[in-house]
Amino acid sequence: MEKQERPFSLPHFTWWDWFLISGFITVSVIVSVLKGNFSTLSFIAGTCSVLCVIFGVKGHVLNFLFGFLGSCIQGYMALKSGLYANAALFLLYNVPMQFVGWAQWRKRQLGGTEEGIRTRWMTWPQRILLIALCTASVWGISRLLLKTDDPQPVSDALAMTVAVGAQFLLTFAFIEQWFMWIAVNGAQIVMWSIAVTRGVEFAPIMLIQYVFYTMNSIYGIVFWARMSKKQ
């Protein structure tokens, strides 16, 4: 039977989606007012990224549009903060991967009236290989960053390496990507918490952003597991 194409449309937003959007905006504004500085750039990047992960959970290709915008801005901010591995991750990897992901997800959309994409679990050999590659990469990249003025070489290497793997799994619709994003978000929370203590202008909003990401990643595991049962 030929696959029925579903017209391009916006997905249904749940109370959780509105909670993430309104929660991020509200908390960001309050923190900025209390600290006496508001970074428009980081606020735009954060808003784009929150929309990216919301559409990502729903399996909607618009997540790559917002991912492209957010990656460009966050790459610039990471570069200005001296987080070179993070900057390379956003600008040299995440940006081009948005185009690859868009093409892949258009092929994996569920047909008919169903929202979402065809998701899948990795095999155990694939998981073991992924963990081994990530571990080796974190060790190697952190050694290289020790030779630069990167203030957080280990956290920066961890965030970069695991995010590369997570973005790859996201592109090809593997459910395990959400577990990797939780690890990435944890490393980012550590990095931006330290950046807050150093007085980096846009660090507070970045920290808030990754806290909301973590909550959404947990929700993503549940939602994508449900999508996999529809197939």
Instruction: Tell me how far apart the alpha carbons of residues 205 and 219 are, in angstroms, rounded to a whole number.
Output: 21
Residues 75/91, Cβ–Cβ less than 8 Å: yes
Task: Report pLDDT for 99.
Answer: 94
Quote the pLDDT of residue 29.
82
CA-CA distances (angstroms) from residue 159 to 13, 155, 189? Answer: 29, 6, 10
Tell me the whole-structure pTM to 2 decimals: 0.79
Check if the beta carbon of residue 178 is closer than 8 Å to that of residue 53: no
Among the listed residues 67, 29, 27, 74, the one whose alpha carbon sits nearest the alpha carbon of residue 48: 67
What pLDDT score does 114 carry? 58
Radius of gyration of the chain (CA): 18
Residues 6+ apart with CB under 8 A from 206: 42, 46, 74, 77, 188, 192, 195
Residue 69 DSSP SS3:
helix
What average pLDDT values come out for the chain (231 residues) when binned by 10 residues?
A: 50 86 85 75 85 89 93 89 81 92 87 72 94 92 85 80 90 92 87 85 80 89 82 63
DSSP 3-state assignment of 164? helix
Nearest Cα residue to 205 out of 216, 217, 193: 193
- Residue 4: per-residue pLDDT: 44
Kindly list the domain boundaries of the chain, sorted by start residue: 15-108+121-229
